[in-house]
């Protein structure tokens, strides 16, 4: 399977990314421990879903085919799970491109030496955006 992207966590963020990637003709495999989460995917969804714990290496290898993924996006709501997965996907499976979500910006320190890993911080992005609106309003006074 070419252009394969594995998305871990099918919450609002993961489901939106998975739906978009599938609509762009990428081969998408989305993993979530709660099968009900797949209801968030936009229909029709051309990707594959895998129900189970993404920290299970047997599941990652035999059901998500992680060894051949070109990219992985890690979006569970648990920073510690996401940190573990970032290390596993980078160090063991050598996935070339990995994006991982963290709520706590302090996690940057814990992934800085990992090859191919970029982090996003939704809380930080919201915080900065709110401050920028406030500052723009004060400048206009």
Distance CA 60, CA 84 (A): 13
Q: Is 54 in the site for ligand AMP (CB under 6 A)?
A: yes
Query: In the numeric block, which tokens belong to residue 57?
Result: 């290496």
Q: Is 37 in the site for ligand AMP (CB under 6 A)?
A: yes
Nearer to ligand AMP, 4 or 101 (CB): 101
In this chain, which of 5, 7, 13, 86 binds ligand AMP, going by CB under 6 A?
Answer: 13
Q: Is 117 in the site for ligand AMP (CB under 6 A)?
A: no
Q: Is 16 in the site for ligand AMP (CB under 6 A)?
A: no
Distance CA 39, CA 130 (A): 31
Query: In the numeric block, which tokens belong to residue 56?
Result: 């299970």
CB 98 to ligand AMP: min, Å: 15
Binding mask 120-139 for ligand AMP (x = CB under 6 A): --------------------
Task: Give the DSSP per-residue string, 47-102.
Answer: SEEEES-TT-HHHHHHTS-GGG-SEEEE--S-HHHHHHHHHIIIIIS--SEEEEE-
Residues that bind ligand AMP (CB under 6 A): 8-13, 31-34, 37, 53-55, 76-78, 81
């Amino acid at each position: 399977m070419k252009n394969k992207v594995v998305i871990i966590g099918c919450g609002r963020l993961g489901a939106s990314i998975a739906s978009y990637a599938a609509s762009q003709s990428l081969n998408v495999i989305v993993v979530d421990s709660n099968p009900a989460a797949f209801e968030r995917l936009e229909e029709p969804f051309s990707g594959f879903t895998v129900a189970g714990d993404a920290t299970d290496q047997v599941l990652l290898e035999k059901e998500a085919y992680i060894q051949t993924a070109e990219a992985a996006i890690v979006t569970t709501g648990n920073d510690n799970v996401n940190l573990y997965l970032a290390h596993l996907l980078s160090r063991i499976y050598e996935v070339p491109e990995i994006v991982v979500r963290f709520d706590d910006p302090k996690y940057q320190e814990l992934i800085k030496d990992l090859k191919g890993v970029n982090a996003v911080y939704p809380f930080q992005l919201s915080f900065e955006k709110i401050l920028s609106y406030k500052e723009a309003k004060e400048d206009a006074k």
